[in-house]
Structure 1
Amino acid sequence: MVFFFALLGGLGVAILADWLLFAPWVRAPKRKSIIKAALLQAGMTNVAPSKFVVICLGCGLAFGILTLGLTGTVLFAAVFFGFGVFAPWVYLRHQATKRQAALQEQWPEVVDHLRSAIRAGLSLPEALSQLATVGPQILRPLFADFALDYRATANFSVSLEQLGERLADPVADKILTTLRITREVGGTDLGHTLATLSAFLRDDVRTRGELAARQSWIVSAARLAVAAPWILLLVLGTQEAAKEAYMTAGGVIVLGLGVGISVICYRVMLRLGALPVEERVLS
């Protein structure tokens, strides 16, 4: 009995010390997977990450079988299997970049519509819902979903959060955060704030358009430079002498080094050719 009470007292002292000396343990918020974030940025909300992985494997298998049929070499088929697995990811990132550029051109118009609707006396939910019919064509389905969510839940914050998740855009996060703060704490300068934001967005779109036009040919040339050796390898793979040369230990080392150098150069090319990307506020 004495031992039991001593153990109970020691446990109480340990809990008290833990409460006084250590910060409470908080579960870190679960981060979205890279694939899911890329799918959202590309607007492919109906594609699950697991389905995208299956698509990558299927594409890699198709590349491998096609290469094996053309060259009859398992080594070349394995190399192009890896390229095939990576190809859908490259396409996904391209679509995401293309969609982000298209959205950036539309945000000033969205801000102008919101400003006009608010000045006309509409509430914030009504102003956002109205964009399903008068907003830019590319964004109308997303604002229509917001209107459905708001009618179903009557909760502006939850509907706004779901809209931000579907848009997956840093500029949208700024606009939605401004609207949320105005809704929660009130304010009379929303019209002036939206006008300033619209002017800033138009300047940003104009500057990014000029930079993208200057860098597009450089990025295209770099991509061609990365792809050209492997297209040549596929052509050479139909020749018996080339296949015998690459099937040696030295040939395997050369292919391995070539794959590594191509991947590194492609990443460096993307890093040098990419414009600065704003981080999301609501991610």
Structure 2
Amino acid sequence: MRFDGLPALALLLGCALGAGTLLVLSVWAWPRHNPAGAAVARPLANRHPNRVTVLGISLLIGVIVGFLTFALSGVIGLSVIFAVASASAPRLVMRRQAHKERLLMRTLWPDVVDSLVSALRAGASLPAALSSLTTLSPRVVHHAAGEFERQYRLSGNFDACVDVLKTTWADPAADRILETLRLARHVGGSEVTTILRTLGGYLRQESAIRQEVEARQGWIRSAARIGVAAPWVVLALLATRPEAAAAYNSPAGITVIFIGFGLSLVAYRIMLAVAILPQPRRWFA
């Protein structure tokens, strides 16, 4: 089945309508964070659009891609496969963004430790040292530090403010840093800067090792994506020929397409599982 008589203008208008709807939904899917720091109250790991919005965008993308594939090839099975695969694009984008945030935070904590050590060596108190993080450039650090400073001035409760800061950052390295400061606050001692410097060196070394391992495992992920995508690109090119489209629209052709998709999905998940590097756990959450 083909839409040989489908006007190009109708196809263009359909794509424009889908793109416009996607842009409208993006207001709720990816809202701009409040520059005053209102978005800092939520954990970094939970800063994602709501599930209903993601589901709506995924369905919209799937319908558009499926319609375009069917309009260009006329192959029902291929259109369904492309629609399902493209519907997962928003989730993949969210995972990619979360991975970038983790990488940013991982390389950030040694600098945070160095800033705390400098403030403490200059004679600042522990609350003042945490408040001094407002001078660091990454927004996720100085907004949270500014909120800590504001809450500490209002309540004077160091432990409660540290708990809020731990919830905001929601990171294992941040938990270790803050618990070190909490312990120093309760028991005192002059070795807190030495402990922090040791912790900072460990965090920097751990970050370098994980980056090297993830870079090597990135080859596996790239090979998995290429290995899965290549057969379907070839299939899409073959489907543009009328005789191939007729063959793939037969019951046997549809069965072959869906079995091939299932095998591709299983192989892709296995290759990704091989490349997964376990993330550190939050023992002090």
Fold similarity call, TM over 0.5: yes
Change (3 A) 1:226 1:166: farther
Q: CA deviation at 1:40?
A: 5.7
2:188 paired with 1:187: yes
- Counterpart CA distance in 1 for 2:246 and 2:109 is 57
Change (3 A) 1:273 1:242: same
Give me the identity figure in percent: 38
Question: Is the 2:57–2:90 contact (alpha carbons within 8 Å) kept by the matching residues of 1?
Answer: yes
Q: Please, what is the CA RMSD of the aligned residues?
A: 2.8
Partner of 2:125: 123
2:57 paired with 1:55: yes
For 2:206, the aligned partner's letter is: D
Partner of 1:165: 167
Question: Is the 2:224–2:272 contact (alpha carbons within 8 Å) kept by the matching residues of 1?
Answer: no
Partner of 2:239: 237
CA deviation string 1:83-119 (max 9, x = no partner): 1221121222222222212221121111111122123
Unmatched segments (≥5 aa) in structure 2 = 1-41
Partner of 1:5: none
For 1:128, the aligned partner's letter is: L
Change (3 A) 1:258 1:142: farther
CA deviation string 1:129-166 (max 9, x = no partner): 22121354663334334444545655444443333333
Structure ID, larger Rg: 1
User: Which of the numbers 115, 123, 141 marks the counterpart of 1:139?
Assistant: 141
Unmatched segments (≥5 aa) in structure 1 = 1-38
2:281 paired with 1:279: yes
Number of equivalenced pairs = 243
- Counterpart CA distance in 2 for 1:65 and 1:235 is 17
SS at match of 2:88: helix
Taking structure 2 as the reference length, the TM-score comes to 0.73
Question: Is the 2:74–2:245 contact (alpha carbons within 8 Å) kept by the matching residues of 1?
Answer: no
2:107 paired with 1:105: yes
- Counterpart CA distance in 2 for 1:53 and 1:162 is 31
Change (3 A) 1:136 1:239: same
- Counterpart CA distance in 2 for 1:63 and 1:254 is 21
Q: CA deviation at 1:231?
A: 2.2
Q: CA deviation at 1:250?
A: 2.3
CA deviation string 1:19-75 (max 9, x = no partner): xxxxxxxxxxxxxxxxxxxx9656x72633433333322332332233233223443
Q: CA deviation at 1:275?
A: 2.5
Partner of 2:69: 67
For 2:54, the aligned partner's letter is: F
For 1:238, the aligned partner's letter is: T
User: Which of the numbers 269, 272, 275 marks the counterpart of 2:271?
Assistant: 269
Change (3 A) 1:112 1:232: same
- Counterpart CA distance in 2 for 1:138 and 1:149 is 17
Question: Is the 2:107–2:207 contact (alpha carbons within 8 Å) kept by the matching residues of 1?
Answer: yes
Change (3 A) 1:69 1:108: same
- Counterpart CA distance in 1 for 2:166 and 2:72 is 47
Partner of 1:199: 201
Change (3 A) 1:194 1:227: same
